[in-house]
Amino acid sequence: AAAALWGAVGPAGSVGSIVPAGGEDLEMKVSALSRRTAAEMRKAEKERGDHSRRLEVLEELCRQHLGSLDTRLSQAREDAAGEVERAAQRMKSRMDRDLKQLAEAVEKQTSEVRASQEQRDEAFKTLTKRVDSEHGAVEELKSWRSQAEVQIRSCIDSASTSASSASRMSSALASAMDGGGMSGQALEAQQALEAALSRERKQAHERLRSSCSELTAHLNDLRRELVEQRRVAELAAADAQARHEDMQRDMAEHHADLECQIAELGGALAARLQAKIQELQQDVHHGDSSAEGRAAALEKSVEWLEGQVRLWRQENAQLHSDLAGLRDPTGRDLDRALEVAKEEARTVHYEVMSLDTRVASIEERLSGDMPDRRRLEAGPPKGALAA
């Protein structure tokens, strides 16, 4: 390019005729470089706008993802609360049912104990009545015995009186027999009287013995029945006490079982809620970290693009100033300016190519990271960017 630009240069005296042609060619190349730089800057601005749109899309995706996580977290909390409420309702219904059954069992046992108590009361009343009747019979027997003793004593007195009279009669008869004889009728009367007295005495003793034995047997029967009733009452009281203790022990075991079940259910629900919350927190943390990493990468790429745009603007300003200085140059200044312009153009070209390569790598990384790939690749194709 330098040979083509300066090939028409003649001898040393013909420099003034060649400078204008070189200046026009330099202005054309500088203007072409300026247009290319402007095109590259427009392309960079366009890519910056594309990156801004991609950042907006990424932010929208992050917001949607975080919104879905919030929705999932709220749904999980509602599900956990509903499950806890349902478990509480089930436990409450079960406790109500168990308490109802326990109350029915207690009422049944209470009715049985009340019925047995009433039976014992009736038995005690009957026994009391029988004891009272037996006491009345004993009193009657005592009165009859006293009457019998009185009668026996009167019989004994009458027998002694009759015996004394008989002895007197016998003595009289004996004296009469001694005095002059006795008839057979008097002897028979004496013998009959003695036989009647002995028979009456024997009957009285037998009646007294039989009444005493009957009274003793009746009293023994009353004692045995009273002992039996006492034993039955003690057995009933012991049975009632054992039933009451069994009922209290069953109630205590049932309450302990219910408390253990409630504690186990509460622990299981707390563990499930804690595991669900930890899982959701891990998901949220993972989503936040991935979104933050992608946003940081995009911010770095945008900052690099902004720095490149500022650098291009500074270079463009420098090129414009150099172009303004080349309006009336000498031959040496023109050569130096042309070399500087060529070097700057080459540098800009290399930087544009490196920028294209970096943008392509950023797009590939973003396309590999982002799930919604088609929407993020809405920028200009790589062929147009290379042109």
Closest CA to 372 of 67, 65, 48, 72: 65
User: Considering its fold, how many domains does the chain have in total?
Assistant: 1
The per-residue pLDDT for 353 is 80
Confirm whether 9 is domain-assigned.
Answer: no
Token pair 């540098």 is found at: 347
How many Cβ atoms are within 10 Å of 308's Cβ, its own excluded? 21
Confirm whether 176 is domain-assigned.
Answer: yes
Closest CA to 349 of 302, 386, 307: 386
- Which residues, in sequence order, are CB contacts of 58 under 8 Å at separation 6+? 291, 294, 295, 298, 370, 376
Q: Say how far apart CA 309 and CA 303 lie, in whole Å.
A: 10
12: DSSP letter: G
Token pair 């392309």 is found at: 43
Confirm whether 8 is domain-assigned.
Answer: no
The per-residue pLDDT for 217 is 84
Confirm whether 286 is domain-assigned.
Answer: yes
Confirm whether 189 is domain-assigned.
Answer: yes
Confirm whether 185 is domain-assigned.
Answer: yes
If you write DSSP's letter for every residue of 54-86 in order, what string do you get? Answer: HHHHHHHHHHHHHHHHHHHHHHHHHHHHHHHHH
Residue 109 belongs to domain spanning? 18-386
The answer to whether residues 348 and 315 touch, using CB atoms and an 8 Å cutoff, is: yes
Confirm whether 5 is domain-assigned.
Answer: no
The answer to whether residues 80 and 272 touch, using CB atoms and an 8 Å cutoff, is: yes
The per-residue pLDDT for 12 is 37
If you write DSSP's letter for every residue of 148-203 in order, what string do you get? Answer: HHHHHHHHHHHHHHHHHHHHHHHHHHHHHHHHT---HHHHHHHHHHHHHHHHHHHH
Confirm whether 13 is domain-assigned.
Answer: no
The answer to whether residues 54 and 258 touch, using CB atoms and an 8 Å cutoff, is: no
**pLDDT by position in tens, the chain (length 387):** 333 333 333 333 333 333 444 557 777 877 787 788 778 778 878 887 787 787 788 778 777 766 666 677 778 778 877 887 887 788 788 878 877 887 788 788 788 878 877 887 787 777 777 777 777 766 776 777 677 677 767 766 766 676 566 566 556 555 555 544 445 566 777 677 778 778 887 887 788 788 778 878 877 888 888 888 788 878 888 887 888 888 888 888 877 887 888 888 878 888 888 887 888 778 777 777 776 777 777 778 778 877 777 787 787 777 766 666 655 545 556 667 677 777 877 887 787 787 778 777 777 776 666 555 455 445 544 444 443
Phi and psi angles of residue 128, each rounded to the nearest 5 degrees, phi first: -65, -40
8: DSSP letter: T
The per-residue pLDDT for 179 is 47
